[in-house]
Amino acid sequence: MRTNALSILLSPLLLLTSACASTTPKGLDSSPAQAPPPGTSSPQVHGNLAQVMRGIMFPNSNVIFAAQSADPAKVKTVGDPSLATDPLASSYGGWMAVENSGLALAESANLLMVPGRMCQNGKPVPIQNPDWPEFVQGLRNAGLEAYKAAQSKNQDNILTAADTLTTACMKCHDKYREKPGGDKDRCM
């Protein structure tokens, strides 16, 4: 008798649970802005290439470039370091900021290979081009070199790492960044 009563109580709960767990009908695509189902880890695209560059790569590169001329250990934190807009003067400033920027560049290289990302001009990011993965790997290597240089807390090492970063950026920009006159390969 107890088993039957428990079954009667649980039946509506099981029906409710299965109704809530139903999937999207076949033929309907979910938009990239929707959260993935729990337990999945497929990358999603939220910004175009220019937004990723301006939001992640540009500011983090500038931290590394700033460390060429200003010793990060000597950068004073601002009155309330949690409100600092300069990463070198924030709560995680100094050499740690340079380390974090190197890692951010290395990790953000992965974002350049996510299928579905578009250029600012509406063209797909050319991940299928043979040189694109090479350029992305160059950025990843430059970020890791900057990270290791920052760990050494040696500005000479930062100079070398910044040169590697400049070269990696320039190789890709020379082919894919917007130039006057336009080019079919440009991804702006």
Mean pLDDT of each 10-residue bin along the chain, 188 residues long? 42 37 37 59 89 95 95 87 81 92 97 94 93 97 98 96 96 83 66
Spatial separation of the C-alpha atoms in residues 111 and 108, rounded to whole Å: 5
Amino acid identity for residue 11 in this structure: S
pLDDT recorded at residue 185: 63
Instruction: Answer whether 136's CB lies under 8 Å from 159's CB.
Output: no
Q: What is the pTM of this model?
A: 0.74
pLDDT recorded at residue 82: 75
Two structure tokens written together for 114: 């996510």
pLDDT recorded at residue 11: 40
- Position of tokens 């370091």? 81
**Neighbouring residues of 133: CB distance < 8 A, sequence distance ≥ 6:** 113, 127
pLDDT recorded at residue 2: 46
pLDDT recorded at residue 23: 38
pLDDT recorded at residue 115: 94
Spatial separation of the C-alpha atoms in residues 94 and 76, rounded to whole Å: 8
